[in-house]
């Protein structure tokens, strides 16, 4: 433990000492200022954050043909975020069932919520992209936020990432009570979308008997006669919601 501590300490000291003598590029200065002003810390190693804010459209390739984009950090950050939020919600709601906790976490990490959080934090200003498509930009910001969390984890470890996520993101920018009251009703959403776009929509549900006292329901959602989502659940409502959620996903309905 002590050896590990000393090695990390010396390593950090080494990196910090030499960083005094190197010039930071404009984009690095931007990142340093973002970390200091928005999140209140300086990095040990800026390379993780440079990587986190680089979308694949703006990424160069290594000699082996490997793209230096933020996708691997996003994969890591996504998992770290899930673990920290699970921990946080477990303490925040000491008596709630895990189904409720899962639902709350889904709301926090939903695509649209992560994108708006990224914009609130100002990540859209520093992320490097080489695309013009405004729609695509939105996902890019949410993904960059996840990659940023992966970078903090690589740079400073789990406990530090946890404190950044809880103190600087969850407590500062998320109103848990407000989020709790939002009902993610996918059925209403997909019906509203279909009506707005003048498409015919209907749900078909079949009941499947498993044993004397156990049935499952399978629902398909049809838009203009074509299946766009399937769902299964222990009630008709659940199966419909799942089918509608899949429909929303396939049709890019937020």
The residues that are catalytic are: 78, 146
Q: Which is nearer to a second copy, 130 or 226 (CB)?
A: 226
Residue 47 as a binder of a second copy (CB under 8 A): the answer is no
Cβ closer to a second copy: 34 or 76? 76
- Tell me which of 12, 19, 68, 82 binds a second copy, using CB under 8 A: 82
Taking CA 213 as the corner, what is the angle to CA 212 and CA 217, rounded to the nearest 5 degrees?
105
Pick the closer one to a second copy by CB: 174 or 230: 230
In the complex, the smallest distance separating the C-beta of residue 112 from a second copy, rounded to whole angstroms, is 20
Is there binding between residue 64 and a second copy (CB under 8 A)? yes
- Residue tagged 């970078």 (tokens): 151
Q: Least distance to a second copy from the beta carbon of 52, Å?
A: 13
Q: How many CB atoms lie within 10 A of CB 23?
A: 6
Paired sense of beta strands 214-223 and 201-211, if any: antiparallel
Please tell me whether residue 184 adopts helix, strand or coil conformation.
Answer: coil
Q: What CA–CA distance (Å, rounded) separates 207 from 68?
A: 49
Residue 67 pairs with which residues in a beta bridge?
A: 61
Least distance to a second copy from the beta carbon of 178, Å?
Answer: 23
Bridge partners of 221, per DSSP, are: 203, 229
- Mask for 157-176, x = binds a second copy (CB under 8 A): xxx--x--------------
Cβ atoms of 71 and 146 within 8 Å: the answer is no
SS3 of residue 229 by DSSP: strand
The footprint of a second copy (CB under 8 A) covers: 62, 64, 66, 71-72, 74-76, 78-80, 82-83, 85-87, 90, 95, 97-98, 101-102, 153, 157-159, 162, 206, 218, 220, 226-230, 232, 246, 250
């Amino acid at each position: 433990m002590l050896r590990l501590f000393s090695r990390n300490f010396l390593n950090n000291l080494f990196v910090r000492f030499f960083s005094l003598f190197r010039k930071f590029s404009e984009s690095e200065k931007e990142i340093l200022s973002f970390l200091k002003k928005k999140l209140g810390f300086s990095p040990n190693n800026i390379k993780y954050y440079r990587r986190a804010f680089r979308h694949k459209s703006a990424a160069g390739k290594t000699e082996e043909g490997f793209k230096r984009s933020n996708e691997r950090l996003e994969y890591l950050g996504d998992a770290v975020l899930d673990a920290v939020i699970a921990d946080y919600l477990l303490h925040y709601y000491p008596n709630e069932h895990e189904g409720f906790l899962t639902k709350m976490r889904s709301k926090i990490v939903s695509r649209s919520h992560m994108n708006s959080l990224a914009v609130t934090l100002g990540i859209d200003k520093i992320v490097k992209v080489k695309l013009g498509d405004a729609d695509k930009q939105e996902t890019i910001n949410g993904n960059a936020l996840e990659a940023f969390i992966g970078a903090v984890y690589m740079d400073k470890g789990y406990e530090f990432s946890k404190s950044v996520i809880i103190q600087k993101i969850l407590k500062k920018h998320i109103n848990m009570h407000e989020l709790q009251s939002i009902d993610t009703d996918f059925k209403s959403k997909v019906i509203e979308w279909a009506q707005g776009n003048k498409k015919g929509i209907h749900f078909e549900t079949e009941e499947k008997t498993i044993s004397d006292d156990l049935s499952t329901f399978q629902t398909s959602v049809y838009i203009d006669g074509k299946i766009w989502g399937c769902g299964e659940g222990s009630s008709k409502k659940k199966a419909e919601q799942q089918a509608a959620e899949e429909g929303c996903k396939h049709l890019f309905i937020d």
